[in-house]
Amino acid sequence: MKTISLVYISLSGNTESFVTRLKDYLLSQYEGIEVQKIHIKDLVKEGQDFYEMDHPYVAFLPTYLEGGNGVDNGDVEILTTPVGDFIAYGNNASKCFGVVGSGNRNFNNQYCLTAKQYSQRFGFPVLADFEMRGMLGDIKHVAAIIADLYELEEAGTKV
Ligand SMILES: Cc1cc2nc3c(=O)[nH]c(=O)nc-3n(C[C@H](O)[C@H](O)[C@H](O)COP(=O)(O)O)c2cc1C
């Protein structure tokens, strides 16, 4: 049994929706897996200490920036910083396959900027991005990336 861990934060529910649908999709398409959702907001709310991940994970990060235009200002992260703290904890950064950014294209240059900043800060790739709750195509795209990273077997492919 392979454990796929999805580490994320969601303030207004879009990322929660995406991660939940992604989990269902992965379970329907691949065998021998379990999917673990780790919502950093819950850890913080419950006053739990951060811990070191003992297996690889993928991070999901919506963008919340303080005003600005993303060019010469507007690159200050708000609300999502506990995700960065979790990734910076112990060896967690080295266990992260990469980050999937989300946001809203109306923010132009600031679209998914925080995911790009995390990629630079921690040295892992931006694996994909999607807008708001994401479409089925986004779910399939991210699931395929996860299947490659974890080397998953499609359900029903064994003879
Ligand atoms: C105060 C605020 C600031 C935001 N700033 C950005 C931004 O700079 N870039 C971007 O792509 N999206 C931005 N967004 C859009 C959110 O990233 C988007 O709605 C996302 O889906 C929210 O995810 P959540 O519902 O899981 O919290 C912002 C939204 C709010 C409410």
- Give the per-residue pLDDT at 156: 81
8, 9, 65, best to mutate for ligand 1 pocket (most atoms within 8 Å of CB): 65
* Backbone phi and psi for residue 73, each to the nearest 5 degrees, phi listed first: -160, 180
Alpha helix ranges (H) inside 30-154: 40-45, 81-88, 92-95, 113-122, 136-150
Contact 56, 150 (CB under 8 A): yes
Residues 6+ apart with CB under 8 A from 36: 3, 4, 5, 6
> pTM for the full model?
0.96
Give 13-38 pLDDT, tens digit per residue: 999 999 999 999 999 999 999 999 99
Burial class of residue 37 (count of CB atoms within 10 Å of its CB; 0-12, 13-18, 19+): middle
Task: Decide whether any atom of ligand 1 lies within 6 Å of the 109 Cβ.
Answer: no
Give 87-141 pLDDT, tens digit per residue: 999 999 999 999 999 999 999 999 999 999 999 999 999 999 999 999 999 999 9
- Give the per-residue pLDDT at 158: 59
Task: Decide whether any atom of ligand 1 lies within 6 Å of the 62 Cβ.
Answer: yes
Longest dimension (CA), the chain: 57
| Residue whose CA lies nearest to ligand 1 atom number 31 | 64
Give 47-80 pLDDT, tens digit per residue: 999 999 999 999 999 999 998 777 788 889 999 9
Task: Decide whether any atom of ligand 1 lies within 6 Å of the 88 Cβ.
Answer: no
